[in-house]
Amino acid sequence: MSKTLFLLHLVMVISLQFVGRSSATVYTVGDSAGWDISTDLDSWVKGKTFAVGDALLFQYSSYHSLSELTKSNYEDCNTTVPLQSYTGGNTSVPLTEAGNRYFACGNKLHCLGGMKLKVHVDSNQAPSPAPAAQQGGSLPNTSKTNNPSTSVQSSSSVALPNLPIAPLLLLLLFKFYLVR
């Protein structure tokens, strides 16, 4: 009986190692240039694949804001009735469902000048919890490269490294059954 129980635990622990392998990717919009009127956002978005569970990190100065818009309002740069509006210079927006998302600076002239972004979100990734939208606070230390980061840091928390937990659980199980 205890041998069967041990094997059952072993199979469960090994299976858990493969569950949750997909991790959310955080994309810093505009990379080192950030969310700014001088950023070529059309070039930035090309070649990137966004999936449910990912997040967009918008970093911007006090001269800008962030508005999520409908498709029609995005095309017309109508920022007077946003779906969501953010200020504060550091906004993380979770991508929680598949489809197109539309963002623009709340200043209509900036939007007309090209400070807007259309993102297509694929559902080809198993949903994983994305961080809640946050505004304000100090900007995190991020590497602003063309590659997305894989962790989210905010002013109130620090991301921990991704450690494989299955080997640790196996050791605990072996110790538990050897002590018995």
Q: Residue 131: give the domain boundaries.
A: 23-179
Q: Is residue 108 part of a domain?
A: yes
Q: Is residue 10 part of a domain?
A: no
Per-residue tens of pLDDT for the chain, all 180 residues = 555 444 434 434 344 344 444 578 999 999 999 999 999 999 999 999 999 999 999 999 999 999 999 999 999 999 999 999 999 999 999 999 999 999 999 999 999 999 999 999 998 645 455 556 655 555 444 444 444 444 443 322 333 334 444 454 444 444 555 555
Q: Is residue 12 part of a domain?
A: no
Q: Which two tokens stand for residue 16?
A: 């858990």
Closest CA to 135 of 155, 106, 120, 111: 155
Prediction pTM value? 0.61
The total number of structural domains that make up the chain? 1
Q: Is residue 11 part of a domain?
A: no
Q: Is residue 116 part of a domain?
A: yes
Q: Is residue 8 part of a domain?
A: no
**CATH classification of the domain holding 135:** 2.60.40.420
Q: Which two tokens stand for residue 169?
A: 């659980």
